[in-house]
Homo-oligomer: A and B are copies of this chain.
Amino acid sequence: MTAGTLLYAQSGGVTAVINATAAAVIEAARARRIKVLAGRNGILGVLREDLIDTTRESAAAVRALAQTPGGAFGSCRVKLKSLDEDRARYERLLAVLRAHDVRWFLYNGGNDSADTALKVSQLAATYDYPLTCIGVPKTVDNDLAITDCCPGFGSAAKYTAVSVREAALDVAAMAETSTKVFVYEAMGRHAGWLAAAGGLAGQGPDDAPQVILFPERAYDENDFIDKVQATVARVGWCVVVASEGIRTADGRFVADAGAGKDSFGHTQLGGVAAHLAARVKDRLGMKVHWTLPDYLQRSARHIASKTDLDQARAVGKAAVQFALKGLNATMPVIVRTSDQPYRWKIEAVALDKIANREKTMPADFIRKDGYGITAAARRYLEPLIRGEAYPAYARDGLPKYVALRNVPATRTLPEWTG
C-alpha cells in the first residue's frame, strides 16, 4: 500500500447510483494501491472514529456494489457549523484524520455536503494539516449549482418518466367507468426537476402527464381544477405530476395543507398528491387515484439510467484523480459539450462556487402556461434517462444487491462523547 489513506463518506439522501460512485472510488484507489476507509454514516462515522476498512471487501463485492442502491456505508443528515461555533467537533475530526493518516477526504453528497467538504478543507488549512478535500456530487433533486446534472437524478428521472407512462396506460383503460384523474407526487422541495422528468412520459398535448405542477410556479387551486376538468373533457382522463414542493402564492407549502387530522382525531401526515386528489374529488366529483412513490423513486436501481450510472462512476473515478493531483476544495462536475449527440466530460470546479447554492429549473424549461415542459427542457432531460443498466438477478427473481462486510478499522482514539 502507498502511504496515506483516502477517506470516503456518503451524506444526505441516498440514490440508486451513489454506491456506483463509491465502487468507482474504491476501484480507482485500489489501482493506485491506496487504502480506502469509509465513514460509517457519513461525517458522523468520522467523528466517532467509526471507519470501515474497505480493503476487507473482495473485488467481486466492490463490483456488485456498483449495482446496489442505497448507501452501503450509511449516510447522515448532519451539517457542521462554522469553525468557531463547532470547534470541538472540528478538533475531533482532525484528530481522527491524523490517527488514520488520512491525506484525501472525499465527501459524496449534495449542497450541504459540499459545504462540509469545504469546511473540512478550511479546517485542515487552519491547522496546517496536509489534506485534499473533494466534494463528490450526488442528489436526485438535481439542484447542485454549476454541474450540468447530478448523479442520481437521471435514474430517478427515468423511474418517474417510465412510471408516469405506465400509470397513464392504466388510467386510460379505467377512465370510462372508474378512475378519471391520477396524481403522481414527485420529490423536489424547491426545484421541479423530477416533476419535469415526468413530462418525458408523453409528447403531444393530450399525452400524459397533461398537467405538471412545479415549485417554481405558484399553485392556484381554481386554475388547476379548471385544467384538470378541461383535460378530462377533451381526453377522457387526466394525469397530474405534482412536485412535493409546490406552494400557493402566499408561500404556504401545499403539502403542509394536506396534513390534518384523521377520523380518529390523530395527526395525519401531509402530502401534495393526497391533497390534490381530495380537491379534485370534492370539486369535480370524479374518481381519483394518487401515488406517493417516496423512497421508491430514488432507490429504484432496477430501472437505473445508463447515462446516470456512467456519470456516477465517472465522478467517483475523477474524484480520486483530483485528490491525488491535490486539487483541494473542488468537485468533479459534469459539463455538457453537446446535446445531439449527447456528450459530456468531467471538470474540476471550486467547492465555494457550489456549496449552499441551489439550482432551480430555468424559466425557459417551463411552458408559458406553467403546466408543462418546453422543447428546451426535453433536450436537456432526455439524454439523462437514456439507456438501461439492469442489475443482475438471482434465481429467486430478485436483484443481486450486495451487503458489504463493513469491517471496522481498528480504533486508536478515546471514544467521542461530543
User: Which B-chain residue is minimally distant from A300 (CB atoms)?
Assistant: B166
Assembled-state Cα–Cα distance A269/B291 (Å): 12
Whether A14 contacts B173 by the Cβ 8 Å rule is yes
- Min CB distance A162 to B, Å, is 5
* Given A165-B399, A393-B388; A173-B10 close (CB under 8 Å): yes
Taking beta carbons and an 8 Å cutoff, which residues of A are in contact with B? 10, 13-14, 16, 41, 44, 68-78, 158, 161-163, 165-179, 182, 200-201, 256-271, 274-275, 277-279, 281-282, 288-296, 298-303, 305, 307, 382, 385-388, 390, 393, 395-399, 401
Chain B residues whose C-beta falls within 8 Å of the C-beta of A399 in the assembled complex: 162, 165-166
Would you call the interface of chain A mostly helix, strand, loop, or mixed? mixed
Residue among A298, A301, A302 with most chain B CB within 10 A? A302
CB contact between A268 and one of B170, B172, B260 (< 8 Å): that residue: B260
Whether A256 contacts B263 by the Cβ 8 Å rule is yes
* Given A69-B169, A70-B170, A382-B396; A264-B257 close (CB under 8 Å): yes
5 additional contacts (CB under 8 A) given A266-B282, A269-B278:
A70-B166, A70-B172, A167-B295, A291-B293, A386-B397
Count of identical protomers in the assembly: 2
Chain B residues whose C-beta falls within 8 Å of the C-beta of A175 in the assembled complex: 74
User: Which B-chain residue is minimally distant from A283 (CB atoms)?
Assistant: B266
Assembled-state Cα–Cα distance A257/B268 (Å): 10
Chain B residues whose C-beta falls within 8 Å of the C-beta of A161 in the assembled complex: 397-398
Chain B residues whose C-beta falls within 8 Å of the C-beta of A179 in the assembled complex: 295
Assembled-state Cα–Cα distance A288/B175 (Å): 33
